[in-house]
Structure 1
Amino acid sequence: MNIKLVVVGKLKEKYFKAGIAEYAKRLSRFCKFKIVEVPDEQAPESLSQAQMDVVMQKEGERILSKINDREYVFALAILGTERSSEEFAKEIDQLATYGHSDITFVIGGSLGLTDAVLKRANTQISFGRFTLPHQLMRLVLTEQIYRAFMINAGSPYHK
C-alpha cells in the first residue's frame, strides 16, 4: 500500500519534523509513506476575496498536479465527515481490500481547498471543528494513519 500526503507549504519547525519522521519510520513496516510538499502562494496578510480566490486556485492546481487518476483521495476539510480512529482504520482496511492501494491525503494552505480539489477527492475527512495549524495537522494526520494500521494489526497501541 502507498500512502501519500500532499501538503501546501514547507515544514519549518524541527519538533514537528521529528514527530512526523518518527511516525513515518513506524509506518514503513505497513506501507510506503511519503509527503509531497507544494509551494504555498505568497500573499499579503490582508487579501480581498478575489485575491484569496487566486491564491487558492494556484495552490489547488499545484495540489492536483501531484495526484494521479488511480489514487483514492481524502481531502482534509473542516466540513468533512468526522470519524473515530476505529472507523478510520476500518475504512483504510476496506480500501486496501477492494483494490485501492494508492491513498492520498490532501492538506490545503491557510485559505483552504478549492472546489476543484474537493471535487477530485473521493471523500472529505474532518478532525473536528477546531482550526489547527497546518504543521500540527500534518503530525496529527500521520499519527492517525499509524494508529489505523496498529488498530488493523490488533496492536495494544490504540488503548
Structure 2
Amino acid sequence: MGLEEARLALAREELAVPHISALRSEFAERLAGLFWARSPAQHIVVRLTGDGYVADREIRTEAGVVPVRFVTGAAATTVQLTARLQAAMPVLQKLIPEISGAWVDETTGRIVLDVDAPQTSKHVYDAERATIEAVVGFPVEFRFSPPPTDLISPPLSARPAR
C-alpha cells in the first residue's frame, strides 16, 4: 500500500466513525462484534447473533467508499459476553492467579484471557480449558506474555560490594 492509499484508508476510518456508531445503535440487540478488516481490501465486518439476513452496505465518505459486510449466526452478543466475563472474574482469578487481563474479542466472539506466563505454559492451561470454559459459559482463548521483570536497577546500596 502506497503512502497516498494509506492516507485515504486512515481518512475513511476517521470519516466512518459516525456511521459506525449508527451501526452499533441499529444492531445493539444482535451485535456480536464490529471491526475493521484490511484484507483483501479495507472494509467493516459486523457480526450478529441470529440467522436473520442483513444485506451488505456501503458507507460513503469524502475519502471513498467503505464496504460493510454482515455475518450472522454468532452465539452471543458482546454485551452478553462482557456480562458473563465480569460475573466469572472472581472465580477466574482464583483458577488462574497469573491472569493479567480479560476481554471480548469482537473478531472471533471469544473471551480472551491474558496470562502472565511464557507460551511454554500453554499445555497447562489447555488441560484446564474445559473447567474454565464451564465457568465462563463460552469459548476462551489464552494469550501469553512473559511475566514482567524488574527493569529498574537496584539502588547502589543494594548492590553487592566488589
TM over 0.5: no
| Structure with higher helix content | 1
The interval holding the TM-score normalised by the smaller chain is: under 0.3
Q: Give the TM-score, by structure 2 length.
A: 0.22
**1 or 2 for the larger relative contact order (CA 8 Å, sep ≥6)?**
1
| Structure with higher strand content | 2
Q: Give the TM-score, by structure 1 length.
A: 0.22
